[in-house]
Structure 1
Amino acid sequence: MKAIVMTGENKPWEVQEVPTPTAEPGQVLVKVHASGMCYTDVWATQGAGGDIYPQTPGHEVVGEIIEVGAGVVGRQVGDRVGTTWVQQACGRCDYCRQNFPLTGQTAMNCPNARTTGFAAQGGHAEYIAIAAGGTVLLPAGIDYVDAAPMMCAGYTTWSGLRDANLQPGERVAVIGIGGLGHLAIQLAKASGFETIAITHSPDKHDLAKQLGADHVVSNGQELAELGGADVLLVTTNAFDAAEDAMTGLRPNGRVVLSGLDFTQPFEIASGGVPFHMMRQQVIGSTHGGQHYLSEVLELAGTGKVKPITETFTLDQATDAYDRLESGKMRFRGVFTPHQA
């Protein structure tokens, strides 16, 4: 089969012919119809995932089951499924021996987890073998290209909104109107919350309104002047902008960190009323479990949430990577391996 391969740290992606995997016990073999790109693909290529080369990246994977391995229940040939970054925990390490679920959020804390595009082959390929327990069924109302970004970008932002424990009448502010944030605005609005977009980019103001934002501001001071927000959902790794936005966080407000950065810490600015006196919280959030993933897929299946995508064939891997790494890909890139 054809697959994109990371051959070494900071080396260009290569399109290679590699053996087609088979469904081992407990696995399903999926014909990949769409595989979303995430900036984590860049970090993996730059060495953040350790010495994993050669490896095929991609953890926003959707397609059709064409083979079912021994012992699999609940999945059958012809099912439309997707998988995410962490397919399955090992079940044997000290963490797993606390009997947390082997899939979903807790699986991410297992040091020996089966991780798509890291410990196991990723989705930027024509076929992929996946742990059956790490798959979810796709709703009938969503096509493959729209489903792929929901497997990480949509999953991440929806988990952040759910972890914020939003209450009726509260306000949500989303900072970082990019690959995650453009979905977060739609999700917050679809859930019935007054939604504010925070962006320094003037060219994104109109787009934010089109996506459902009730208001658009440029910084924390403007957010405060608007009356503030109860939840600040951080979907960017520009933590300095997020720290500034806290100026507009209301008492009892929550900052939810969904953006990922390996290089800088998130800091709580001093000045004014102390953070703890405002009874504010900082919540770390990531993939929150397959029930959250199913929820966000259902929302996307109704048409209430739709990712903005660019599509590429596998042969366009170099161009796609360059656009992702340089920031020219403003929202989500998706490979369509079986498209001519």
Structure 2
Amino acid sequence: MEKKTKKIYLLAAILFILSFFLPNASLANGDSYEVSSAVLNIRSEPSNDASLVGQFTKGDKVNAFDEQHGWVQTYYGGEPVWVAKHHLISTGDSSQEAAPAAEETVNEEPAAEPAVNSSGSVTVSADSIYVRSGPSTSDIIISYAYQGDSFDVNAASGDWIEISLGNGETGWIASWLTTDGSSNEEATENTAPTVEAAQTQSSSSGSLSGHTIVIDPGHGGKDPGAIGLNNIYEKDVVTSTADYVVQQLEEAGANVIVTRNGDYFVSLDERARISNSYNTDAFISLHYDSFSAVPVSGVTTYYNSDSDTALASSLNSTLSSTVSLPSRGTQQAGYKVLENTNAPSVLIELGYITNPHDLTVVQTGDYQSSVARAITNGLINHLN
């Protein structure tokens, strides 16, 4: 009886040990990636709202065994976790070789369709962009496109363009990462209304390639920031909003630095130091406001000095024309984090979490995505 008991314990121990090694072994046939951003959040589920369970750093290797809507599943501490795919680079080949179908179809398209159709054409201006299944960053990535690639335009939805792919399929790309591809006056005349409608707020080439942007999610850790209705913490809403902003800025080609990538405290001096340690083109601190008078509502863009006014004006313009909450304009204020930052800087209060209407709106993915789009377009207009 004693020997039988020992065998049972031994078998249980072996199974316990294998539970940590077998999942990793099963990844041998999966795709292998390398983390490209300074810090990559690891989440329990494929969502920006899921709980944060850890972080990878630049250069870490990630083996993928599942993928959903732009998220990759891997293992961390023996447990299945999720990371955003747009922070990963395939280690098997170069970025262009990792998506041969996209390159092949784009190269074949001009030969098959040499003429500009009635909706015109666009050319990719960023180094590389995603082609998605629908007109938003939450839609599935179905392919890739690279600088100089041209596509026929089928339709436009907000800031997104539906394009024809060479294999007979269609996809959606961010219009602010393209330029009008018309090659003659007649084509330009026919194309302008459609393409310009899609390229809302972007008067430039639409690329942030070569620019370094610091995103500063306010508060964190022991500092919850404002406490809104239903005990909602400002730091939590800011964190999810920052994820959207970082994603769209990176899709526009920007080098994005984030002052905090999780729920931990970072001093104001440290936030400024992080920005000052880079050749930063713009520093943007994200916040949500509170006020004892419930009816107060809207978005306010604060700046510190005259050197910040152009950036503040550009961001205020795109925010006021993009997000659903009213604009309260730009205001000068002596916030310490702005005073100590060398680069042009702003602090944006994106709504009042003490206002029932504002709180309902700002917690939605649609609003946070529109904030990201407005900030991206405002930076494109300002920096170009």
**Which TM-score applies when normalising by structure 1?**
0.27
Which of 1 and 2 has higher RCO (CA within 8 Å, sep 6+)? 1
More strand by share: 2
Bigger Rg, which one: 2
TM-score w.r.t. the length of structure 2 is 0.25
Which structure shows the bigger proportion of residues in helix conformation? 2
